[in-house]
A and B are shown apart, each in its own frame.
Chain A
Amino acid sequence: MERKDWNVLLVDDEHEFVTTLSERLALRGIASRVAFDGESALREVADSPPHLVILDVMLPGMKGLDVLRGIKAGYPDTRVILLTGHGTTKNGIEGMKLGAFDYMIKPLDIDVLIEKMNDAMGSGR
């Protein structure tokens, strides 16, 4: 599948971060939707199941790992890349046990992120 056909959802409560990231992905031919909390992320997923979700684990309210569980329960084919902080890498590891494709530590390099997105889209997980 070509990049332009990817259905990508970005989930992070840091509005500036996630909207800027979305804009940068768009400049690279990857369209994405954004959600700022777990509940609206799950609604977005239900509306149009994405191929790929970039999900922050430290969300206010519903936690990132619970969102991951919800996604994987209803849409096991959706790939999830988690975003963690350096103090919360154990959440990333825990997330991979729950079916996440991989995790990345913030701040993140967009080229590395796209590389991982490519890998995820090429994988069956």
Chain B
Amino acid sequence: MSPSSGEPAETAMREAVFMGEVTASITHDVQNVLAIIQQSAGLMSDLLDLSRKESLKSLGFRKGFPYHDKFKTLIGAINEQVERGTGLSEGLNRLAHAVDDRPGPTDAAGMAKLLFSLIGRIARKRRVVFALETGGPVPVDCPPMAVLMGMYAVARALINALSNCEVRVRVEVREAEPVVVFLLPEGGEGGTPVGLPTEMVLGERAGTIRLDSRDDRIAMVFPSCPSDGRAG
């Protein structure tokens, strides 16, 4: 990752804003699609209940729907997938808004949660699981997209280097510095990622992340906020 300047940086920013706006708009439509699926499944479930009630009331003279239980199971599966889709759409929407140019600190813990929800599938390909351990918000003096990109660079290097393991990730403030620590597993396959730099320059106004790579952990030290600003 290197700083960009001049026209290419402006073009990249315009492209990011375009992608962000279009993606955010699409996630709104996805929510509507999910809402319709959810309500339609809900109505099917209501009608099944009604049919059963009427059958019971008629003391069996009016036959109930023979596939009642199977349909109920299927409706349950639809609702589970709606919930899953809602989570994905929510993550995508937050990613789309990460390019918004807003002042103030960024919550590194919130960004880590977002990142790992979005890259779960990429990690699963190598059977790597990121387990996030965090308390409250951890404010960093860095734009949201830069925080995401920085953490993704390390996560991606770990996914490439490891397989069949769990990587614990701690987001915390240590000695007044906001840090994201990737704790490397003892078990599993693969080795320590190679080629990670000792620092990442995140671009204009985004500062620099220091990287401390050891055998058992990779710590990312983010620029701390000048005062105790609240993370957005």
Complex interface: chain A residues within 8 A of B42 (CB): 20, 24, 110
Segment of B32-40, B54-62, B147-155 engaged in the interface with chain A: B32-40
**Contact yes or no, B24 A87, CB < 8 A:** yes
A23 CA to B82 CA, complexed, in Å: 20
Complex interface: chain A residues within 8 A of B52 (CB): none
Complex interface: chain B residues within 8 A of A20 (CB): 36, 39-40, 42-43
Segment of B88-96, B117-125, B134-142 engaged in the interface with chain A: B88-96
Tell yes or no: A30 within 8 A of B by CB: no
Tell yes or no: A115 within 8 A of B by CB: no
- Which DSSP category, helix, strand, loop or mixed, fits chain A's interface? helix
Tell yes or no: A85 within 8 A of B by CB: yes
A107 CA to B38 CA, complexed, in Å: 7
Tell yes or no: B28 within 8 A of A by CB: yes
Which of chain B's residues has its CB closest to A110's CB? Answer: B42
Complex interface: chain B residues within 8 A of A24 (CB): 39, 42-43, 46
**Chain A: interface size category:** 10 to 19
**Contact yes or no, B93 A85, CB < 8 A:** yes
8 Å CB contact of B36 from A14, A58, A86, A87: A14
Which of chain B's residues has its CB closest to A19's CB? Answer: B39
**Contact yes or no, A87 B96, CB < 8 A:** yes
* A-B pairs under 8 A by CB, number: 59
**Contact yes or no, A106 B46, CB < 8 A:** no
Complex interface: chain A residues within 8 A of B86 (CB): 86, 107
A88 CA to B139 CA, complexed, in Å: 23
8 Å CB contact of B32 from A14, A87, A110: A14
Q: What string of 1s and 0s marks CB contacts (under 8 Å) between A57-88 and chain B? A: 01000000000000000000000000001111
A107 CA to B47 CA, complexed, in Å: 20
**Contact yes or no, A87 B28, CB < 8 A:** yes
**Contact yes or no, B93 A106, CB < 8 A:** no
Q: What string of 1s and 0s marks CB contacts (under 8 Å) between A79-114 and chain B? A: 000000111100000000000000000111010000
Complex interface: chain B residues within 8 A of A21 (CB): 39
**Chain B: interface size category:** 20 to 34
Give, as a whole number of angstroms, the nearest-CB distance from B82 to chain A.
6
Tell yes or no: B19 within 8 A of A by CB: no
**Contact yes or no, B35 A17, CB < 8 A:** yes
Known: A27-B50, A86-B90, A87-B24. A106 touches B43 (CB 8 A): no
Tell yes or no: A16 within 8 A of B by CB: yes
Give, as a whole number of angstroms, the nearest-CB distance from A35 to chain B.
16
26 sample A-B contacts, Cβ–Cβ < 8 Å, listed by A number: A14-B32, A20-B40, A21-B39, A23-B43, A24-B43, A24-B46, A27-B46, A27-B47, A85-B27, A85-B31, A85-B93, A86-B31, A86-B86, A86-B90, A86-B93, A87-B24, A87-B28, A87-B96, A87-B97, A88-B28, A106-B31, A107-B31, A107-B34, A107-B37, A107-B82, A110-B42
Residues of A that sit less than 8 Å from B by CB? 14, 16-17, 20-21, 23-24, 27, 58, 85-88, 106-108, 110
Given contacts A14-B32, A87-B96, 7 further A-B contacts (CB under 8 A): A14-B35, A27-B46, A86-B89, A87-B28, A107-B35, A107-B37, A110-B42
